Amino acid sequence: WPLFWTFLRPQLLALSAAVVLALGAALLNVRIPVLLGQLVDVVARCARGHVATYLREVRRPALRLLAVYCLQGLLTFGYIALLARVGERVAGNMRKALFSALLRQEVAFFDATRTGQLVTRLTADIQEFKSSFKLAVSQGLRSGTQTAGCFVSLYLLSPKLTGLLLVALPALVGAGAFIGAFLRGLSRQAQEQAAAWGVSDVPAVPAGGQGHRGGRRGAGQRADGAEQLGLGIAAFQGLSNLALNGIVLGTIFVGGSLMAGDQLSPGDLMSFLVALQTVQRSLASISILMGQVVRGLSAGARVLELLRLEPLVPLQGGATIPAHSLLGHISFNHVSFSYPTRPGYPVLQDFSLTLPPCQTVAIVGPSGGGKSTVAALLERFYEPTAGTITLDGHDIAGLDPSWLRGQVIGFISQEPVLFGTTIMENIRFGKPGASDAEVYEAARLADADGFIRSFPEGYNTVVGERGTALSGGQKQRIAIARALLKDPAVLILDEATSALDAQAELAVQAALERAAAGRTVLLIAHRLSTIRGAHLIAVLARGRVAEAGTHEELLRRGGLYAELIRRQTKEGS
Ligand SMILES: Nc1ncnc2c1ncn2[C@@H]1O[C@H](COP(=O)(O)OP(=O)(O)OP(=O)(O)O)[C@@H](O)[C@H]1O
């Protein structure tokens, strides 16, 4: 409620106005039966007179009724329009808040949550909540006030008839509730039978032929349950129709005898019947409304639950290292890690590795060995299960993740992420405040300036959804330009050229080597041909560094690295 209140508070004035208009419209409903009754009385009185007298007499009450109808229409228009506005604003603000709450979550949250589920929260659930909210205010108010108001009119029209109604109605409502409870029991039974036999009507292993017979018996029981429920519902609907019409018939019967004794006019009886019908309709719409409100409340609860979710690794907050003392010395100390979605499956175990400042360290190893996981831990997308990772002696668990990802680490992956906007904006994403000149310089360094300027729109070329209007090599060089604009102290290259053909790879490789100069580089390589220029090569096997050294040292040792080289040369890569 307090969270929902934050969305509702700014709309309070409009909401109050809507409530006042809705109450006004509902109260007019109470007046309508009385006016109708008066009109009927006038009509009955003039029925045997001249047409001219009839028209003169009827005009005034008819116009009065018409005025009330018009006023009611106007008020209804007002409150529905206001409520639509309030509902849209509340839902819009909730959607925005939910979207930012989702963006705040750590990567592990998205591993464990299906995208479809989040889309449903953002669209269907908020929509459902909004509709129920509007309905609860408009219809709830209308039906509530109508019921109360009409009972007052009923009493004023005929206390005797109302007294009879007050005896009959509770008895009928009680009987309805009793039958409803009985039907719910039947429905639960039918559901249980369906659940028990729904997985398979014919058991998978029919021991000695019993399965088929058992299956048929199960299907038979389920059909019995459903049939009984169907019969119950049919009987309930038939009986409730009979009861409602019985009330109308009873009212006319008793009302007629009151008319005979001059205790009630025909108009009063007409008013009574109209008011009675309004009460019936209001009660019916309240019961339908309850179901809708329950659905809306659970949809709202699902949305608010996500809104209150606090990320395990907050996006912001923590220490930063001043630019002048940032060297880019990274150390993994006895790190162990399992993905939260697979806690029993260790990816890294006692993994230790040092990345000296301004040097390139390559991690190689078999596919699925955990190379990309090392990069994800360095970016704090996940937290190690044990051990620490330090940057210039500071544990990164205490550093501000936004600062770390935004200013310290540049990341170029196999599949660069481009946004469906201009090349200029895509590169500027690396440093939002960068000038045009800085963007051109970064593109030149990434060997992208030439092909960008060859496009008719130049830097204003729109790259299409996820960069579909560009080739793989072009996308990759834009990603490099973006990383260079950020000017990060640490650069992670995760198989950055593996998706490119030989020619594009050469161009991107050259750009990468220029980008790597003067930075600490973590080079993740599946194909060993991409690790030229690495100062140190670490071979990852079974979650830890199995061997480390220069290319020559490792070849001389004849271990795992030499074996990988031999295998890849044989494969022709
Ligand atoms: N989000 C995740 N949730 C659960 N398990 C994951 C997740 N990402 C990776 N893994 C598992 O962790 C292990 C290491 O994956 P990782 O991507 O780090 O390997 P890699 O060495 O980079 O592989 P490749 O060279 O094929 O890219 C794999 O067994 C993989 O199935």
DSSP of 525-569, one letter per residue?
A: -SSGGGGTT-SEEEEEETTEEEEEE-HHHHHHHTSHHHHHHHHHH
Q: What type of residue sits at position 320?
A: T
Are the CB atoms for 398 and 356 separated by under 8 Å? no
For 255, the token pair is: 């009302």
Shortest CA distance to 337 belongs to which of 345, 328, 326?
345
Report the alpha-carbon distance of residue 71 to residue 74 in Å, rounded: 5
Nearest alpha carbon, ligand 1 atom 5? 339
Nearest alpha carbon, ligand 1 atom 26? 367
Distances (CA, A) of 26 to 156, 327, 413: 18, 73, 63
Report the alpha-carbon distance of residue 439 to residue 423 in Å, rounded: 10
Backbone angles phi, psi at 383, to 5 degrees: -105, 140
Q: Can you give the pLDDT of all 573 residues of the chain as single tens digits? A: 777 788 888 888 888 888 888 888 877 877 787 788 888 888 877 766 777 777 788 888 889 889 988 998 899 899 888 888 888 888 899 899 999 988 888 888 888 888 888 888 888 889 988 888 888 888 888 888 888 888 888 888 888 888 888 888 778 778 877 877 787 777 777 766 665 554 433 333 333 334 444 445 555 555 676 777 777 777 777 787 788 778 888 888 888 888 888 888 888 888 888 888 888 888 878 877 877 888 888 888 888 888 888 887 778 888 888 888 888 899 999 999 999 888 888 999 999 999 999 888 999 988 888 888 999 999 998 999 999 999 999 999 999 998 998 889 988 887 788 888 899 999 998 888 889 999 998 888 888 888 899 999 889 988 877 777 788 888 888 988 898 888 888 999 887 776 666 766 777 777 777 777 788 999 888 777 777 778 889 999 888 888 888 888 888 888 888 888 888 777 665
Q: Is the CB of 33 under 6 A from ligand 1?
A: no
Residues 6+ apart with CB under 8 A from 532: 509, 513
Nearest alpha carbon, ligand 1 atom 29? 368
Shortest CA distance to 358 belongs to which of 447, 486, 488?
488
What's the 387 CA to ligand 1 centre distance in angstroms? 19
For 252, the token pair is: 């006319």
Q: Is the CB of 347 under 6 A from ligand 1?
A: yes
Q: Is the CB of 339 under 6 A from ligand 1?
A: yes
Q: What is the 3-state secondary structure (H, E, C) of 151-215?
A: HHHHHHHCHHHHHHHHHHHHHHHHHHHHHHHHHHHHHHHHHHHHHHHHCCCCCCCCHHHHHHHHH
Crossing angle for the helix pair 266-307 and 126-157, nearest 10 degrees?
Answer: 160
DSSP 422: B
Nearest alpha carbon, ligand 1 atom 23? 368
What's the 371 CA to ligand 1 centre distance in angstroms? 8
Q: What type of residue sits at position 102?
A: L
Q: Is the CB of 476 under 6 A from ligand 1?
A: no
Closest ligand 1 atom to residue 369 Cα is 21
Q: What's residue 191's pLDDT?
A: 64
What's the 339 CA to ligand 1 centre distance in angstroms? 9
Could you read off the pLDDT of 31-88 as tens digits, one per residue? 787 788 888 888 877 766 777 777 788 888 889 889 988 998 899 899 888 888 888 8
Report the alpha-carbon distance of residue 365 to residue 6 in Å, rounded: 52
Q: What's residue 352's pLDDT?
A: 92
397 SS3 class: helix
Backbone angles phi, psi at 16, to 5 degrees: -65, -40
Q: Cα angle at 301 between 300 and 307, to 5 degrees?
A: 90
If residue 364 lies in a helix (H) or strand (E), which one and from where to where? strand 360-364
Report the alpha-carbon distance of residue 216 to residue 206 in Å, rounded: 12
DSSP of 212-250, one letter per residue?
A: HHHHHHHHHHHHHHHHHHHHHHHHHHHHHHHHHHHHHHH
Are the CB atoms for 329 and 357 separated by under 8 Å? yes
Q: What's residue 390's pLDDT?
A: 93
Report the alpha-carbon distance of residue 538 to residue 146 in Å, rounded: 78
DSSP 467: G
Query: 337 pairs with which residues across the strands?
Result: 348
Half-sphere exposure of 362 (CA within 13 A, CB side): 22
Shortest CA distance to 404 belongs to which of 489, 518, 332?
489
